[in-house]
Amino acid sequence: MGQIEVARKTRKAKAKPERIVHYVAMEGSVTERKYFDALIREYNLRNVILLRKAKTRSSPSDVIKRLERQIGKKTNDHGEKLEEHYWAVFDTDRRSISTLRNAAERASKKKIGIAASNPCFELWLLLHFGSLADMKGLEGSAAAGGCKNVTDYLRRRFDRSYEKSSFDPSKYVDRIAEAIKNADASDTQGKDAWMDSVGSRVYKLVERVLESADFSPSNT
């Protein structure tokens, strides 16, 4: 992975083509939305559109369906042509292997990127503070106990007040370069469509968004 220089909101980023936009559909409507809203504000990411979800629609296939409905629009309110990228953000816990692999196959056919976290989004949050290799016992605990163990570890080591609906995202988005580095280092299956091991591919989404920043459709 090349070195990423994150453009702060107080600095003018190098101009990028005004035709690139990233559509992001998320399984969760609270934690993930809170995080990405903060990321967009912090780094002035005007090239990201967060798609809203129906309260009852949260499976990987539902996330992908929301993106499929967006595919092909190609223009914004000003009539400009867009280069569109699509990202599905969801967790793997409580999902069968067949469900996850089917979702990955469906996404691949539509050229939708999967930014999944195994077992859950809190694993991505943990990577803002260190690598999996440095967090003794976490990998086995996450694989065995799922999201509860990951969340407990996050509270115990780095964010005592963490709650899904009320955490402070600023302490995470300020460390985004470290999170990308740590997630990339733990992704030994980077070229595979699906990730079986503990880790998070949210870094792929964030990395691409930062690289193509400076486009400004409004979030919906």
Q: Confidence band (pLDDT; 50, 70, 90) for 202?
A: very high
* pLDDT (0 to 100) of residue 138: 83
* pLDDT (0 to 100) of residue 216: 42
Q: Mean pLDDT throughout 204-209?
A: 94
Q: Is the pTM of this model over 0.85?
A: no
* pLDDT (0 to 100) of residue 12: 47
The residue written with tokens 């077992």 in the block is 119
pLDDT at 16 over 50: no
- Cβ atoms within 10 Å, residue 50: 18
Cα(103)–Cα(61) distance, integer angstroms: 6
* pLDDT (0 to 100) of residue 220: 47
| Tens digit of each residue's pLDDT (9 = 90 or more) over 67-121 | 999 887 665 555 667 789 999 999 988 888 888 888 989 999 999 999 999 999 9
| Tens digit of each residue's pLDDT (9 = 90 or more) over 25-71 | 998 889 999 999 999 999 999 889 999 876 666 788 899 999 999 88
Q: Confidence band (pLDDT; 50, 70, 90) for 219?
A: very low
Q: Confidence band (pLDDT; 50, 70, 90) for 218?
A: very low
Q: Confidence band (pLDDT; 50, 70, 90) for 6?
A: low
| Tens digit of each residue's pLDDT (9 = 90 or more) over 133-179 | 888 878 777 766 789 989 999 999 999 999 998 899 999 999 999 99
* pLDDT (0 to 100) of residue 143: 66
